[in-house]
A and B are shown apart, each in its own frame.
Chain A
């Protein structure tokens, strides 16, 4: 267990360090999600009441759109010089690669969230009636689900041609449950509903996260097979 954790951390650190040095994805992701936020506020010219209704959906959609940009790069880095074969021939199991990469993508998405989220208060005059802690928990759980499935499918599309366009097409249908649950929970928290009114959504996100934490354990090897 400790050894697995060490291997996962190795991949995680490697990915995060090389990303933060090159700043390939993160800068693009942050800029893109801020752009979406600004463009939407121009497109819909939101009055105070309507904004509240669409804001949770907008926040999550912009996260997912900018997240896709990062996910598409997850395995691109390994294509040069056959890096992936190098990693696979080291004693690191494919599942460890998967978790390590997912963790690194998750941190990148958090960076986007931390920078973008305060801007919603500025541009949309956002007010939160519910607890901020539970909102952050919802953001965390939802992001985990999104990144887990996204990292898995990015490994799948990285093997195919036209992979950049393909990832959203195959990823979005699978994201429906976690997206729906996250948006519903977020809007409940914004509106200040009581916890047991949206607890089912948090549970659903948790189930989704667990399913896509375990399923890759059985299937990820097949995505990494080299022949």
Chain B
């Protein structure tokens, strides 16, 4: 127990330091992009958020599989917590994306494969959270959520394929910008990716702790009711 809490402290401290470094790099060190101006800095938050979202949903998938296999409550808690964090970061992606898009493409939204897939992803995991919430801690219903967590993830690549074809058959309005990043920007992006990944684990652990506390409370209440 002592061991894990010190590990958590290390994680928290390194997230804090890494975040300060990222903020310095993004707002002070890295040069302002010539064409888009300061708005391009959204990039350093947008891309890592997208990465964290995908990581989180992969964790939901893997933990759901493990939960169905082992029936250990821990895996269900990991899956549920990771989905919550994932939905938050997907929301960030969906908010920052249009702001950036408006500045660089001149439009808030385009049915680009990545954008559309992210939006559908958001709906899928919102649905997952709704299922899991209506499970109300019943073991059988938590299994249902796990099943959905698995098939939701399987559906994602098919969604991406479908939307990509849909967009290539239609005229392509916006070419993907394949401009190689200068080293300073790449470095900043990499540091930001690290920061967001650390942040993901911090939030995941917090969210898991809350869920565990809630379950403990629920058990205490039902025990107290029984004694009464």
Interface residues contributed by chain A, number (CB under 8 Å): 32
Between A and B, 10 residue pairs with Cβ closer than 8 Å are: A153-B148, A156-B147, A160-B134, A166-B130, A172-B123, A173-B120, A174-B155, A176-B162, A177-B158, A225-B143
Interface status of A204 (Cβ within 8 A of chain B): yes
Residues of A within 8 A of B152 (CB): 173-174
- The segment from B41-49, B81-89, B163-171, B198-206 that touches chain A is B163-171
> A184 near B169 (CB under 8 angstroms)?
yes
- Cβ-based interface call for B23 (8 A): no
The residues of B that contact A207 with a CB separation of less than 8 Å are 158
- Contact yes or no, B159 A160, CB < 8 A: no
A198's nearest neighbour on chain B, judged by CB, is B169
A170 near B134: Cβ-Cβ < 8 Å = no
A215 within 8 A of B: yes
A85 at the interface (CB under 8 A from B): no
Task: Decide yes or no whether A126 CB sits under 8 A from chain B.
Answer: no
Contact across chains for B147 and A162 when beta carbons are under 8 A apart? no
Residue from the list B148, B154, B161 in contact with A204, Cβ < 8 A: B161
Chain B, residues 150-188, CB within 8 Å of chain A (1/0): the string is 111011001101110110010000000000000000000
Closest residue on chain A to residue B169 by CB atoms = A184
CB contact between B127 and one of A173, A222, A227 (< 8 Å): that residue: A173
- Residues in chain A within 8 A of chain B (CB atoms): 152-153, 156, 159-162, 166, 169-170, 172-174, 176-177, 180-181, 184, 200-201, 204, 207-208, 211-212, 215, 219, 222-223, 225-227
B124 lies within 8 A of chain A by Cβ: yes
Would you give the shortest CB distance from B149 to chain A, in whole angstroms? 11
Complex contact A170–B139 (CB within 8 A): no
Would B141 and A170 count as touching, CB distance under 8 A? Answer: no
Which chain A residues border B158 with CB–CB below 8 Å? 177, 204, 207-208, 211
Complex: A213 Cα to B79 Cα, angstroms? 25
Q: Can you add 9 more A-B contacts, CB < 8 Å, to A173-B120, A215-B154?
A: A160-B131, A161-B134, A173-B123, A176-B162, A176-B163, A200-B165, A204-B161, A219-B68, A227-B139
B92 interfacial contact with A, CB 8 Å: no
B144 proximal to A (CB < 8 A) = yes
Contact A223:B134 (CB < 8 A) given known A160-B141, A174-B124: no
Q: Which residues of A contact B134 (CB under 8 A)?
A: 160-162, 166
Partner of B165, one of A176, A204, A225: A204
B residues less than 8 Å from A227 (CB atoms) = 139-140
A169 touches B147 (CB 8 A): no
Chain B nearest CB: distance from A186 CB in Å?
13
Which residues of chain B from 121 to 142 have any CB-CB distance to chain A below 8 Å in the complex? 123-124, 127-128, 130-131, 134-135, 139-141
Looking at the assembled complex, report how far the CB atom of A78 sits from the nearest CB atom of chain B, in whole angstroms.
16
Q: How far is the CA of A219 from the CA of B68 in the complex (A)?
A: 9
Task: For B165, list chain A residues within 8 Å (CB).
Answer: 200-201, 204
Q: From known contacts A215-B151, A219-B147, infer whether A177 and B162 are also in contact, taking CB-CB under 8 Å.
A: yes
Q: How distant is the Cα of A153 from the Cα of B130 in the complex, in angstroms?
A: 14
